[in-house]
Amino acid sequence: MNKRIVASIIAASILLIAIAFQSVSFFMNQSITENTTSMFSVSQKPEEQIIEQGSTANRIVQLEVNGTIINNPGSGSNPFGSGGYQHEQFLKKLETIKKDDSIKGVLLYVNSPGGGVYESAQIHDQLLEIKEAGKTIYVSMGGMAASGGYYISAPADRIFASNETFTGSLGVIMQSINYQQLANDFGIKFNTFKSGEFKDIMSPTRPMSEEDRQIIQTLVDESYKQFVEVIASGRDMPKDKVYELADGRIYSGKQAVENGLVDEIGFKDEALNALQKKIGGNPQVIKYKQNNIGSFFNLPMAKSFLPDSEVRFIKQLISNRQGPTLMYMYSE
C-alpha cells in the first residue's frame, strides 16, 4: 500500500473523527449551557500572565488578534482547530477588561487580513465600551491589518504600524462559486424546491439574475457605509476623505501614516512603551492565556503522513463555515 493511499485513509479517518467530535461537542455544550452550576461555568475570567512587573492598581493588558476574524463555534475546545484566533474567548477577554478597574490601558496587536462583518462589529463595539469606561487603547499592527483588521483598529486612541505593514483594503466583499456549466458538462442535474423567488439567491447551480445582484449589492453597500462611518468616527476624518481612501486598495504602513489611517511608524515594543508613558505610574503589563488544547494537525503523526496541502484542506473542511458571507476581508 503506497503512501498516498495511506494518507487518503488517514485523511478520511480524521474527518470522521472530527464529525463525531463535533457532534459530541454540540451535546456537551448544550448540557453545559443548561447546567449553569456545573464546574465548567464557575469561572469565566481568563487566566492572567504577568509580562512586566509594576503597579497592580495601574495595569496594561496585551491582546492579540492573530488570524482571520471569524467565529467557528466550539473552536476553543476543538482539538482539530488551528489554535489561532478564538472569537468567543476574545470577546470574554474584552468583557473582563471592561469590568476590571485596575486595567487602565489595552495594547491590541492586530495581525489579520480581516474577517466577518458581524464578528468585526462585535469587537469594534466592545472596544468602544472599553474606551467609554475610561481606558486607553493603542493598536500595534503586524504584517497585515487589513479590512476587518483595520475596522477593529479604528477606535484606538493611537495606531502604530511598521513601514512593511499591509493595511487598508477598506471595503466589503461577498463571493460565491458557480459550477453550473461544469455540472452540465458532466450531465449533473439539480432539483431545487423553494418557498420564494430569492430563497436560492447566490446558488452555485444557476446564474444570478439582475434582481439577485441588486439585492446582494444593497447588503454590501450597507456594510460599506457602516465601515466608512467607523473610520470617520475613529480617525476623526471627513467622510469624503474616507470614501477616497476606501476603494479596496492596500496601503503600506508608510502610506497609511501619510494618508491619516495610521498615527506612527513603530513596532509592538514601541507601541507598548508609548502606552506605558501615557498611562504613567509604572503600570504592570499582563496578558491572558489562550485556553485551547492545541491543534491535532501540529502533531508529528499528522505531519508525517499528510502533505501540507492536504492538512490545510482538511482543516478548512472541518472549520470553515459554509455559504456566502459578508466579509471585511482582504481577498487572496
pLDDT at residue number 177 = 87
Choosing from 194, 199, 289, 303, the catalytic residue is 199
Sequential DSSP letters for 172-214: -B------HHHHHHTT-------SSTTTTTT-TTSPPPHHHHH
Q: Any catalytic annotation for residue 199?
A: yes
pLDDT at residue number 81 = 46
87-97: pLDDT as tens digits: 999 999 999 99
Q: For the chain, list residues with pLDDT below 70.
A: 1-44, 73-83, 291-323, 331-332
198-255: pLDDT as tens digits: 999 989 889 999 999 999 999 999 999 999 999 999 999 999 999 999 999 999 999 9
pLDDT at residue number 328 = 86
C-alpha 52/C-alpha 70 separation (Å) is 31
Choosing from 82, 147, 169, 223, the catalytic residue is 147
pTM, two decimal places: 0.78
186 CB contacts (<8 Å, ≥6 apart)? none
Q: Any catalytic annotation for residue 38?
A: no
C-alpha 85/C-alpha 93 separation (Å) is 13
